[in-house]
């Protein structure tokens, strides 16, 4: 099952949910503006990142800026605590399942959440259209 962490006002979150719906993929939505996020959830996300904290925390958004701290100077445990207290500092959307993680919405990358058989058919159709 795909879990998608969203923020209500995020257009990329809306695009990701529309894409998932259009491809009839089931998901559970976790609205970061309304629901807290557990340390376990953060650790699960972090285990699938390539660049750790930098992959999931937006130091440029207004919520992070309002904290008046340098996130890069904090320990991992301190950042996890900071995220649990201020979940809106996370980039959005974050899509995660048992194997995959995607931060942000990129149509080419989100296709990884399609079952392999569907991906293979869609890729073959795209190659055929390109050849015509």
Kindly tell me the sign of the dihedral angle through the C-alpha atoms of 77, 43, 103, 89: negative
DSSP letters spanning 12-56: HHHHHHHHHHHTT--EEEEETTTS---HHHHHHHHHT-SSTHHHH
- The partner residues of 90 in beta bridges, in order of sequence, read 57
| Residue carrying the six token digits 């259009």 | 22
Q: Active-site positions?
A: 10
């Amino acid at each position: 099952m795909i879990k998608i962490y969203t923020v209500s006002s995020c257009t990329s979150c809306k695009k990701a949910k529309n894409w998932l719906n259009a491809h009839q993929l089931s998901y559970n939505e976790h609205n970061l503006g309304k629901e807290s996020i557990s340390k376990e959830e953060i650790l699960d996300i972090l285990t699938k990142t390539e660049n750790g904290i930098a992959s999931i925390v937006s130091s440029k958004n207004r919520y992070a800026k309002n904290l008046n701290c340098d996130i890069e100077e904090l320990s991992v445990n301190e950042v996890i605590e900071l995220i649990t207290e201020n979940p809106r500092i996370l980039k959005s959307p974050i899509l995660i399942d048992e194997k995959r993680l995607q931060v942000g919405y990129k149509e080419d990358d989100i296709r990884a959440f399609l079952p392999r058989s569907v991906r293979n058919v869609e890729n073959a159709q795209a190659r055929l259209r390109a050849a015509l």
